[in-house]
Amino acid sequence: MEQLASPNICQVTARILNLIASDLQTSSTKAYLASLRQSVNKDVHLATGVFPVIFSNIPIEYLGQSGELTDGERSIILALQLFALHQQGTDQNVNVQSDSKKKTALDNIGASLSSLRVADDSQAIDRRFNAMITATSFNELGNHLRHLIKLLKSKTDTKVNYAQLAQDLFWFQKGQKSSIRLKWSRSYYRYYSNDKGDESDER
């Protein structure tokens, strides 16, 4: 009997996001998002409020056996924390739903952040973006992402594909820093023409 392929980090994160954001108005969802926000910049071992939904939905191959988070756990948790920061104060789901049949313009964080180049001083935003993509450690990258997501939230209504972000964060930790930087930069600096309906409608 043929074995089914294990879900990747993107698919796992998408499933968790669907569970969390299925109804943003429930008290349980609001409490969970609050727990995620409170866990930012803190020892994640103390963030017990976020564990049930996360660890019950992560396949065994991504779960750690030690006192440290695995690369998969770390990637998923950071993506969910960023989603919670972005979602705060709005009833509209800020996550882009992944669709394998249709590739959207907002297929990675670089594409989403590019909307800030229109809404704000492009040189200042470019400096922030360049500081982020040259981050050498996961913690440094996370700090830059948190600042940029807060800017995105305050200045635009652009959504983010948080499931894909988790996948990119995973590969960043697996020695693929250069390819992730290149992918994000291509999307960030890419020219979107207003006469291209699908692309401009995603903004």
- Residue 3, in any domain of the structure: no
pLDDT tens, position by position, 144-180:
999 999 999 999 999 999 999 999 999 999 999 999 9
- Residue 170, in any domain of the structure: yes
- Residue 75, in any domain of the structure: yes
- Residue 2, in any domain of the structure: no
- Print the SS3 string covering 8-38: CHHHHHHHHHHHHHCCCCCHHHHHHHHHHHH
Confidence band of 6 (pLDDT split at 50, 70, 90): low
pLDDT tens, position by position, 87-132:
999 989 999 976 544 455 668 999 999 999 876 678 999 999 999 9
Task: Please say whether the dihedral angle defined by the alpha carbons of residues 44, 46, 47 and 52, taken in this order, is positive or negative.
Answer: positive
- Residue 36, in any domain of the structure: yes
pLDDT tens, position by position, 35-84:
899 888 877 666 677 788 888 888 888 988 887 889 999 999 999 999 99
Neighbouring residues of 150: CB distance < 8 A, sequence distance ≥ 6? 85
Q: What are phi and psi of 137, to 5 degrees?
A: -125, 160
What CATH number has the domain bearing residue 155? 1.10.520.40
Torsion region of 163: left, alpha or beta (phi above 0 gives left; psi -120 to 50 gives alpha): alpha
Q: What domain range includes position 78?
A: 9-93+104-201
Reading the block at residue 155, the tokens are: 């200045």
- Residue 15, in any domain of the structure: yes
- Residue 88, in any domain of the structure: yes
Between 187 and 105, name the one with better pLDDT: 187
pLDDT at 27 over 90: no
Number of domains in the chain: 1
Confidence band of 3 (pLDDT split at 50, 70, 90): very low
Q: What is the mean pLDDT of residues 172-201?
A: 77
